[in-house]
Structure 1
Amino acid sequence: MPLAYPPSDYDVHGHLKAPVLFWLILLFQARTWFLLVLAGASRQQGDALLGLFYPDRDNFWLGLLPGVPAALAFVISGRRHLWPRLWKVWRWVLVVAQIAVLAWQLVLLGQGEELTGLSLALLTGDVYALWWLLTSRRLKDYFALRSE
């Protein structure tokens, strides 16, 4: 039976490797966690950095929530063959988290938050991430643990 993808797209165990865009979307979903690490690493400018992206600190703490499924995807992706049922539904967990981020951004904009270049870029990125999570055949195959 012919392979659905080039041989270089499979690991040594014959499992499909994750698409590079998948890792970038996980980082994008966990952006508040990334910001937290940056703020912690730059102690003097950390508070100013958090204030730049999250003037309302309550939004910062809420922003950590959607990053949890992405962080867990990083952790379990290397052992996905040990929890195949969990792994098969995890794509949908990431989709739900992405929908929650989009809805949250739209609610904030509806409540009068200013539409800046940064917020427009994040909104555009979130729409693209949701579209890709829903439509990528390669990602579907990766989560289905298909090796052929």
Structure 2
Amino acid sequence: MLFNYPPSDYDVHGNLKTPFLFWCILLFQARTWFLLVLAGASRQQGDALLGLFYPDRDSFWLGLLPGVPAALAFAISGRRHLWPRLWSAWRWVLTAAQVAVLVWQIVLIGQGEELTGITLALLIGDVFALWWLCTSRRLRDYFAPQRE
């Protein structure tokens, strides 16, 4: 498959390199996992940190679910040549997870959750992540089957 990118955008095997924004989106999707690690690392303030972002503990445990596809994408991205069909479909798995997070946030706001600055920032970030996952040509090409 021929892509129209500069030579520096390819690795030594001729495959398109990972877009930097893709890593940012994965971190954003796995934000609850990241928060869990931060809370565990800072034992003294860990409970306060979790309470700040997740006052309702049930929301915290549900928030871990959408991060699973992102964590798996981290794990398989380096070996995407071993599972080309799985990797090609994984973009849509990440997109579905992003849609689920966005719908979940909208439902929570509709049920009366307070719209704080953090909530609004997360909502805007989720809309941007979904838009980028759906429209980025570079990302689409990155998930296309690789050359042998």
TM-score calculated relative to the size of structure 2:
0.96
The corresponding residue for 1:47 is 47
Q: Identity over aligned residues, as a percent?
A: 82
The corresponding residue for 1:93 is 93
Rounded Cα–Cα distance in structure 2 between residues aligned with 1:84 and 1:63: 29
The corresponding residue for 2:67 is 67
Write the deviation string for residues 56-95 of structure 1: whole angstroms up to 9, x where unpaired: 0000000000000000000000000000000000000000
The corresponding residue for 2:7 is 7
Query: Is the CA contact 1:16–1:145 (under 8 Å) kept in the aligned structure 2?
Result: no
Rounded Cα–Cα distance in structure 1 between residues aligned with 2:66 and 2:50: 17
Structure 1 gaps of 5+ residues are none
Write the deviation string for residues 14-69 of structure 1: whole angstroms up to 9, x where unpaired: 10011100000000000000000000000010000000000000000000000000
Q: Which runs of 4+ in 1 moved over 4 A?
A: none
Rounded Cα–Cα distance in structure 2 between residues aligned with 1:42 and 1:115: 27
The corresponding residue for 2:38 is 38
Matching residue's letter, 2:70: A
Structure 2 gaps of 5+ residues are none
What is the root-mean-square deviation of aligned Cα atoms in Å? 1.3
Rounded Cα–Cα distance in structure 2 between residues aligned with 1:135 and 1:103: 19
TM-score calculated relative to the size of structure 1:
0.96
- 1:117 counterpart = 2:132: no
